[in-house]
Amino acid sequence: MRRNGLISLIFHTLFIIFIVAPLLAVVAVSFTGKGYLSLPTDGLSLRWFRTIWEYPGFIDAFWMSLYLGIAASTIAVAVAVPAAIAIGRYDFRGREGVMAVFLSPLMIPSVVLGVSFLRFFNQVGISGTFIGITLAHVIMVMPYAVRLVLASVTGMPRDAEQAAATLGASNWTVFRRITLPLILPGIAGGWLLAFITSFDEVTMSIFVASPETMTLPVRMYHHIAQTIDPLIAAISTLLMGATVLLLVLLDRLYGLDRVLVGKG
């Protein structure tokens, strides 16, 4: 009905340039054919994408991050579903407190989480193991899983369950046949957001990752700390491509703004 004025549109254009510029810079540099940082002025080259395969460290780190993300978000969602039902469905003393506990990793600086997990894993002797880093990531991504599942639990109509119960369904049947299908978008959205968060996490992981459990972002951080070259740009470009695919998937599945409100 109302349109944006000229000033608004100029502002918007500058804003979008600001958002996109660094991402485009990465993509542009990754297609260079030269051996150093430069724009691909004389034609696009896939040289640096081919070079990635000569660095098994990055390939291994990618698989590591993938397995870690899958494991952590699956465990987190499995724990988050009953918790979200408890919070969304029952009015009990301590409800707010339980919610605060599950959201607390958002409030604790990642560095604090990192040093704490490092100390703890050292003390119990699982430092540098896959189990250790997985458990750390479960805690880290739990708030996202809980939030999205909770949103779909509170958003679903109560009467469908009650109708099923009056039709003679047992509690378990009601859950399996009515509740679960209705909150499935929330579960799927929560899982994906948890996965992406785990896959991208650096700050906490940098403390707990050992050379054997080095995730991709941590490996990339260490690389950038040493040198910035077209190789790292190529890896970043691939990563962005994969994220865009996931983004589209997430949008189709759940509506991106709804998912990301969970992130905020």
Query: Which of residues 53, 54, 107, 226 is near other proteins by CB under 8 A?
Result: 107
Residue whose CB is less far from other proteins, 82 or 181 = 82
Residue 8 C-beta: closest distance to other proteins, Å: 5
Stretch that binds other proteins, among 46-54, 55-63, 176-184, 239-247 (CB under 8 A): 239-247
Residue 110 C-beta: closest distance to other proteins, Å: 6
Q: Is 96 in the site for other proteins (CB under 8 A)?
A: no
Q: Within 13 A of 242's CA, how many CA atoms are on the CB side?
A: 12
Residue 261 C-beta: closest distance to other proteins, Å: 5
Whole-number Å distance between alpha carbons of 67 and 215: 10
Whole-number Å distance between alpha carbons of 37 and 17: 22
Between the alpha carbon of residue 65 and those of residues 72, 141, 201, 250, the distances in Å are 10, 14, 9, 19
Task: Calculate the dihedral angle through the C-alpha atoms of 184, 185, 187, 190, rounding to the nearest 10 degrees.
Answer: 180
Q: Is 77 in the site for other proteins (CB under 8 A)?
A: no
Site for other proteins in 138-197 (CB under 8 A): 138-139, 142, 146, 154, 158, 196
Between the alpha carbon of residue 129 and those of residues 68, 76, 214, the distances in Å are 11, 19, 10
Stretch that binds other proteins, among 47-55, 66-74, 87-95, 179-187 (CB under 8 A): 87-95
Stretch that binds other proteins, among 5-13, 40-48, 49-57, 179-187 (CB under 8 A): 5-13
Q: Is 217 in the site for other proteins (CB under 8 A)?
A: yes
Residue 150 C-beta: closest distance to other proteins, Å: 11
Residue whose CB is less far from other proteins, 107 or 167 = 107
Two structure tokens written together for 215:
């995730």
Residue 168 C-beta: closest distance to other proteins, Å: 20
Instruction: Kindly provide the b/e burial profile for residues 33-45, where b requires at least 16 CB atoms within 10 angstroms of the residue's own CB.
Output: eeeeeeebeeeee
Residue 50 C-beta: closest distance to other proteins, Å: 20
Stretch that binds other proteins, among 41-49, 53-61, 66-74, 132-140 (CB under 8 A): 132-140
Whole-number Å distance between alpha carbons of 263 and 244: 17
Query: Which of residues 15, 35, 44, 63 is near other proteins by CB under 8 A?
Result: 15
Q: Is 232 in the site for other proteins (CB under 8 A)?
A: yes
- H helical segments located in 201-229: 205-208, 216-226
Whole-number Å distance between alpha carbons of 54 and 52: 5
